[in-house]
Chain A
Amino acid sequence: MLKIENLHAEVERKAILKGLNLKVKPGEIHAIMGPNGAGKSTLASVIAGKEDYEVTQGIIELDGEDISELDPDERAHAGIFLSFQYPVEIPGVTVTNFIKTAINESRKAQGLDEMSAKDMLKKIRQKSSLLEIDRKFLSRSLNEGFSGGEKKRNEIFQMAMLEPKLAILDETDSGLDIDALRVVANGVNTLKSSNNAIIVITHYQRLLDHIIPDFVHVLHDGKIVKTGDASLAHELEAKGYDWIKEKIIS
């Protein structure tokens, strides 16, 4: 599904991704861990097509198609979803109106008619129940004044509404309390199928107790320096990153 080879990217002339390789197949869950500033969010932004990040080398393909020239909205239409580490507040646009607009723009891009109001409501009802979201939330301005955890839950609600092919969850667990973590993880697991894939960026093992990854990658200094199975996350939790860094040096 996703193929990244030798990816180099920079922002403001500063190299951040330095030859990164990653392959994700349908049905897989990949976890990306790594120290602060390693480039995890940058990778997510580059996949999503953020303009400030310049890809200087390498390829990004989705289902065999080069997506590196596509605008972020076109990538979204192709099925990429990014749950932001820091979701943006948009005063004046309610959650409901925002998600309606997003869904209908995607449908328009695919040559489909707008979703009927009835179907839209049904879907909103279903997905907000899945994520145990208070309906009152839906008429509030998007992310404005939301708590950290509420923002993250709202991101996954949008993911549930948009049903992406490839979802990248950037530290969705940070800010969630223990119960919320379980709700959100259950939501993600429910959305998971053999046709889609998920990349989970996280610092902590606890999310991976709920969303069990097929692969765990360690991103360090713009490269993936180690890949393992779910047990690698436990090892990292116990030992930190120093042993990996030392290994690289030696």
Chain B
Amino acid sequence: MDLKEKIVSSYVAFEDGVNMNSDVHEIRSKAFQNFEKLGFPSKKIEAWKYTSLNAVLREDYCLFPNKKKTVTLPQVKDHFIHDIDTYKVVFVDGKYSSFLSETTHDNFDVCLMSSALAKPKYKPIIENYFNKVAKQDHLTSLNTAFVKEGAYIHIPRNTEVEKPIQIINFTTGTEDAIMTQPRNLIVVEQNAYVQIIERHQSLTQNAALTNVVTEIFADRYATVDYYKIQNDHTSASLVDNTFIEQQSESTVAVHTFSFGGKVTRNNLNFYQMGKHINSTLKGITIIEGKQHVDHHTLVHHTAPNCESHQDYKGIFNERAVGVFNGKVVVEKDAQKTNAYQQNNNVLVSDRSTINAKPQLEIFADDVKCSHGCTTGQLDEQALFYMQQRGIPKKEARALLMYAFANTVLESVKIPEVKERITKLIAMKLSVRIGFDL
């Protein structure tokens, strides 16, 4: 049985475990019908031309894991940013782990989607925001059809959340292969501020497929600083669908660090709905072997005087494949838009590939849009210069790649995240880097 059939035929069983007499279930059912019609995306679809899910979909995933596996803190500690105090919403095989989590309802909510969907007091927010900005495409529909669990974050106006929030999904490998579909909703009201770190991590080499949907709403003057750390085993694949709606004067930055996984697809969509909005999309990808990372970004400018800033760096070794597709739409009314997009890649091996495609659709006349895309090897002259100063070639290469990626790290606002990423990069490049950035 192929995965689509398996999923479709499991729906009745899934429905037994949820409240079917709810508005949310209406949404689920509609999404289910949509997925049934669309199925999984194939390479025939333009947006999936360079990324095939075939190999990933061939696994016999367990959809609703039942075996309970306890996870101890020492086992997973390394996957947290543990040197600072944070809120944590942690899931193990798709189920909430209260033991590993640290949630709150004081002043603001950092808690579970399951309770937000069930309890009346969350109803206004759910009604206003749930599944509103998410696109109804193949994989988002699939996620919506099975919505049950995830992180729910609601920050009321004028609230500054002082500790970062970590959303972490572990898979334990108790099943040979597991598919999880977390669903996160993040609502940040006027002039509120929040920092979020998201991570998906399998604890064994067993196959895992995660199809996550995150909706983020940033109201006027709100600030959201979001970090995605993707460093999973090469047996784990991830489709990350993130949809962000921004109101006037809001600032949202998403940094995506992709160092692991088998197939990783990031669908990162920004919808600007007001004036003077600032959107930042940055990423560092460093992969090797047969790893595949695809960044599909969209920034939709609809109103005047907004900015978007994209900066993606990629380093591809061995037979790794990278895809960058950055779409910027500037509507007729979005005069004085300043949209910047930069995608730079280094192919370390001649068998690695990158497919890069900027897509600009500009309907306003008074705009500043720039995009640049480079793909190259490391600068030989710089390597010689560094070697001349006594730095061996391997370290010189690493240092150069490091420096190459560095512009993306500059805007990371949580020092511990920066340090963690720095270490991961050093590890990825298998060097000990004797300095801090």
Contact = CB atoms under 8 A, between A and B. Distances in A.
Interface of A: 48-52, 71-73, 75-77, 81-82, 84, 87-93, 97-106, 109, 114, 141, 158, 162
Interface stretch (B229-237, B360-368, B389-397): B389-397
B385 to A, nearest CB: 4
Contacts of A51: 380, 384
Contacts of B434: 100-101, 104, 114
B435 A72 contact: no
Taking each of B402, B403, B437, which has the highest tally of chain A beta carbons within 10 Å of its own beta carbon?
A: B403
B21 interface: no
B43 to A, nearest CB: 36
B387 A93 contact: no
21 contacts: A71-B392, A71-B393, A73-B388, A73-B390, A73-B392, A73-B396, A81-B389, A87-B385, A88-B382, A88-B384, A88-B385, A91-B403, A92-B402, A93-B399, A97-B437, A99-B389, A100-B434, A100-B435, A101-B391, A109-B390, A162-B390
A92 B403 contact: yes
Contact of B389 (A71, A97, A102): A102
Taking each of A51, A84, A92, which has the highest tally of chain B beta carbons within 10 Å of its own beta carbon?
A: A92
Contacts, number: 87
B389 A76 contact: yes
B16 to A, nearest CB: 55
B381 interface: yes
Contacts of A141: 403
Interface of B: 379-382, 384-393, 395-396, 399-400, 402-407, 434-437
B94 to A, nearest CB: 39
Given A81-B389, A92-B402, A103-B390, 18 more contacts: A71-B393, A72-B384, A73-B392, A76-B388, A84-B385, A88-B379, A88-B384, A88-B385, A89-B382, A92-B405, A93-B403, A97-B437, A99-B389, A101-B395, A101-B399, A101-B434, A109-B390, A141-B403
Contacts of A73: 387-388, 390-393, 396
B385 A77 contact: no
Contacts of B437: 97
A100 B433 CA distance: 11
Given A101-B395, A101-B399, A88 B381 contact: yes
Contacts of A103: 390
A87 B381 CA distance: 9
B344 to A, nearest CB: 11
Contacts of A52: 380
Nearest to A114: B434
Nearest to B395: A105
A99 B389 CA distance: 8
